[in-house]
C-alpha cells in the first residue's frame, strides 16, 4: 500500500534560515505519526507545506496522492487540519462555525454530527456563544471538532492538546487512538513527548529543520528506552554536529 504522506528532500528556506532542510519521510496508512521537535525545529512549517498553505523552496511531497504545492485546494478538501494556535472566527457562535464548515465541506447531517462533538467534548452549553467569548480550551475543542467533522482519511494536527484539561486530553487521546485503529491516519505535531509516547505508533524527530530519526514507538519500548531520553540524547548529539 502506498504511503499516505511521502516527502522527498522537502525544504523550506526563509532567507538564510533552513526551516525545513531536505526532509524525506513516509507516513503509512493507519499510523498515528508524531512529528517531534523543539520550538522552532520546523514542525509547523512542515504541516503548512503538506496542507498547501505554503510552497516548499525545493523537494516534493505527496499527500493522499496529491501534490500540495500544485493542488493546494484539493489537499485541503481531502484532509482535516488543526493549524497551530488558530482560533475559530470571532463573529460566529460554536454551532454556526460547525455549520459553516459543514457547508464548505458538503457534510451531510451536520446538525447531528455537531451535536455528537458538543456532547463528546462536553461543550454543548457553549453552542450559542460567540467564538470570541469562548475560553482557550473550548476554542481548541471547537477546532478539534471542525477537523474531524468530515471523517477525513488523514488529519494533520498541530499541537492539538496544549490548552485542554487532563480529562479532555484523555478523551482526545482516546479518540485519536480509536481513529487510527479504524484505518485512518493522523499526523500529529507536538513537543509534549509523554503524549507522543503514550499514543503514537510512529515518530520522526526534527531538529533545526533536519530529520534526525524516524522509527516506531514499539522499537523503543521493546528496548526499554523512554522517548524523552531518546529525544534528549539525539538532540544533544545533533547540537554537537551542527
Ligand X SMILES: Nc1ncnc2c1ncn2[C@@H]1O[C@H](COP(=O)(O)OP(=O)(O)OP(=O)(O)O)[C@@H](O)[C@H]1O
Residue 160 binds to ligand X (criterion: CB under 6 A): no
HEC-encoded secondary structure of 55-112: CCCEEEEEECCECCCCCHHHHHHHCEEECCCCCCCCCCEHHHHHHHHHHHCCCCCHHH
Q: Judged by CB, which is closer to ligand X: 17, or 104?
A: 17
CA proximity to 29, closest of 155, 114, 144:
155
Residue 191 binds to ligand X (criterion: CB under 6 A): yes
Q: Judged by CB, which is closer to ligand X: 39, or 224?
A: 39
Q: At what angle do helices 136-148 and 166-181 cross, to 10 degrees?
A: 10
Q: Judged by CB, which is closer to ligand X: 39, or 182?
A: 39
Q: Judged by CB, which is closer to ligand X: 42, or 102?
A: 42
Residue 37 binds to ligand X (criterion: CB under 6 A): yes
CB atoms within 10 A of CB 91: 10
Q: Which contiguous run of DSSP H or E holds residue 40?
A: none
* Chosen residue from 19, 156, 176, 199 binding ligand X by CB under 6 A: 19
Residue 39 binds to ligand X (criterion: CB under 6 A): yes
Kind of pairing between the strands at 210-216 and 202-207: antiparallel
CB atoms within 10 A of CB 38: 15
CB atoms within 10 A of CB 30: 16
Residues in 56-85 that interact with ligand X by CB under 6 A: 84
- CB 20 → ligand X: shortest distance, Å? 7
Q: Judged by CB, which is closer to ligand X: 102, or 160?
A: 160
- CB 150 → ligand X: shortest distance, Å? 25
* Chosen residue from 2, 9, 14, 116 binding ligand X by CB under 6 A: 14
CB atoms within 10 A of CB 140: 25
Q: Judged by CB, which is closer to ligand X: 17, or 73?
A: 17
- CB 85 → ligand X: shortest distance, Å? 8
Residue 41 binds to ligand X (criterion: CB under 6 A): yes
Bridge partners, 216 (sequence order) = 202
Rounded Cα distance, 161 and 146, in Å = 15
Rounded Cα distance, 171 and 155, in Å = 17
Residue 40 binds to ligand X (criterion: CB under 6 A): yes
- Region near ligand X per CB under 6 A, out of 13-21, 68-76, 100-108, 124-132: 13-21
- CB 88 → ligand X: shortest distance, Å? 20
Q: Judged by CB, which is closer to ligand X: 37, or 80?
A: 37
Interface with ligand X (CB under 6 A): 14, 17, 19, 37, 39-45, 84, 191
Amino acid at each position: 500500500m502506498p504511503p499516505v504522506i511521502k516527502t522527498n528532500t522537502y525544504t523550506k528556506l526563509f532567507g538564510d534560515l533552513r526551516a525545513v532542510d531536505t526532509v524525506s519521510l513516509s507516513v503509512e496508512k493507519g499510523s498515528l505519526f508524531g512529528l517531534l521537535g523543539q520550538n522552532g525545529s520546523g514542525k509547523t512549517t512542515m504541516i503548512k507545506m503538506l496542507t498547501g498553505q505554503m510552497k516548499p523552496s525545493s523537494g516534493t511531497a505527496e499527500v493522499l496522492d496529491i501534490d500540495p504545492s500544485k493542488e493546494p485546494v484539493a489537499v485541503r478538501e481531502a484532509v482535516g487540519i488543526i493549524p497551530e494556535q488558530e482560533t475559530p472566527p470571532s463573529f460566529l457562535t460554536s454551532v454556526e462555525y460547525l455549520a459553516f464548515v459543514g457547508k464548505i465541506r458538503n457534510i451531510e447531517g451536520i446538525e447531528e454530527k455537531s451535536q455528537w462533538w458538543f456532547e463528546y467534548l462536553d461543550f454543548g452549553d457553549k453552542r450559542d456563544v460567540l467564538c470570541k467569548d469562548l475560553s482557550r480550551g473550548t476554542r481548541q475543542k471547537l477546532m478539534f471538532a471542525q477537523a474531524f467533522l468530515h471523517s477525513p482519511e488523514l488529519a494533520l494536527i498541530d499541537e492539538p492538546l496544549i490548552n485542554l484539561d487532563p480529562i479532555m486530553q484523555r478523551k482526545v487521546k482516546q479518540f485519536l487512538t480509536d481513529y487510527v485503529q479504524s484505518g485512518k491516519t493522523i499526523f500529529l505535531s507536538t513537543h509534549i513527548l509523554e503524549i507522543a509516547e503514550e499514543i503514537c505508533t510512529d515518530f520522526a524527530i526534527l531538529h533545526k529543520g533536519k530529520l534526525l530519526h524516524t522509527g516506531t514507538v514499539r522499537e523503543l519500548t521493546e528496548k526499554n528506552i523512554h522517548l524523552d531520553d531518546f529525544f534528549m540524547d539525539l538532540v544533544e548529539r545533533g547540537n554537537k554536529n551542527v
